């Protein structure tokens, strides 16, 4: 764990060795092993303790554990005495602070804890105090954001399906139009035919009487229809 690495990484040039360390609730008085390990606690947690295993623990020197709050201010410090493991060459030191219903509960964030032996810093470790209510709120906020993202994603998928369908319809219409609409050569031929018929009609209009012109009214309508069709490019292939 991080704590164990941090403790073991402290430079050692002495007879004793910092062998291990962790945060826990308490330790077994027979095995001296930590109980209830964890470096994150809530504001309602009763307490948290620092457990450190020392090989060949020193005697005749002061061993002190100092607690610093997230602002870097010293919160507590206590002189501790090593508890030796019977028949072994190691022992532990342990110190704890209360959290629930104390000022520590209002100091949310990361705390630093230092182990001083003969007034020299031999190890340091960190734990954090968090608010359970704040954690629940953050989870609720995350769920709300997730729901919003899912809703937006569903909307985008629906819009994408609609656009895909419209594109397919446009492609089908374009293909059908290509099959129906004549070529540019067809348009030129129709235009030439229209111009010829229009010229003949103008000539007839000058020579014939109004009665005779009525006979050609149907021709005029037909010519005009062909002209409009040519103009809009809507003439179909035969």
Q: Are residues 106 and 198 in the same domain?
A: no
pLDDT at 189: 75
What confidence score (pLDDT) does residue 52 get? 98
Nearest of 9, 58, 14, 53 to residue 34 by alpha carbon: 53
Q: Mark the ranges of the chain whose per-residue pLDDT is less than 50.
A: 1-2, 4-5, 8-12, 218, 221, 224-238
- Range of the structural domain that residue 213 is part of: 174-238
Task: Count other C-beta atoms under 10 Å from residue 191's C-beta.
Answer: 14
At residue 176, the pLDDT reads 79
Residue 165 within a domain? no
What is the model's pLDDT at position 233? 47
Q: pLDDT value at position 237?
A: 39
CATH code where residue 51 lies? 2.60.40.1930
Residue owning tokens 């954001």: 145
The full length of the chain comes to 238
Pairing of strands 40-42, 17-24: unpaired
**167: helix, strand or coil:** helix
Q: Among 72, 102, 131, identify where a domain stops.
A: 131
The pLDDT of residue 5: 38
Residue written as token pair 């002190």: 64
Task: Give, in order, the Cα–Cα distances in Å from 117 to each of 37, 50, 198.
Answer: 24, 15, 116
| Closest to 24 (Cα-Cα) out of 37, 43, 7 | 37
**110 and 202 together in one domain:** no
Provide the token pair at 76. 């507590």
């Amino acid at each position: 764990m991080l704590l164990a690495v941090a403790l073991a990484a402290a430079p050692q040039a002495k007879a004793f060795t910092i062998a291990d360390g962790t945060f826990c609730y308490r330790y077994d008085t027979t095995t001296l092993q930590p109980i209830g390990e964890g470096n994150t606690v809530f504001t309602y947690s009763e307490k948290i303790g620092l457990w450190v295993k020392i090989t060949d623990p020193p005697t005749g020197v002061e061993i002190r554990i100092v607690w610093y709050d997230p602002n870097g201010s010293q919160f507590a410090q206590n002189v501790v005495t090593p508890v030796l493991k019977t028949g072994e060459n190691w022992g532990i030191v342990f110190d704890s602070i209360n959290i629930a219903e104390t000022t520590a509960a209002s100091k949310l964030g990361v705390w630093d804890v230092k182990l001083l032996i003969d007034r020299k810093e031999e190890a340091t470790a960190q734990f954090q105090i968090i608010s359970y209510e704040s954690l629940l709120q953050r989870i609720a906020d995350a769920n709300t954001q997730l729901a919003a993202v899912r809703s937006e994603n569903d909307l985008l998928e629906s819009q994408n399906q609609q656009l895909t369908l419209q594109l397919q319809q446009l492609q089908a219409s374009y293909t059908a139009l290509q099959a129906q609409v004549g070529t540019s050569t067809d348009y030129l031929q129709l235009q030439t035919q229209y111009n010829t018929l229009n010229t003949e009609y103008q000539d007839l209009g000058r020579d014939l009487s109004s009665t005779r012109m009525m006979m050609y009214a149907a021709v005029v309508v037909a010519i005009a229809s062909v002209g409009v069709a040519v103009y809009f490019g809507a003439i179909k292939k035969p």
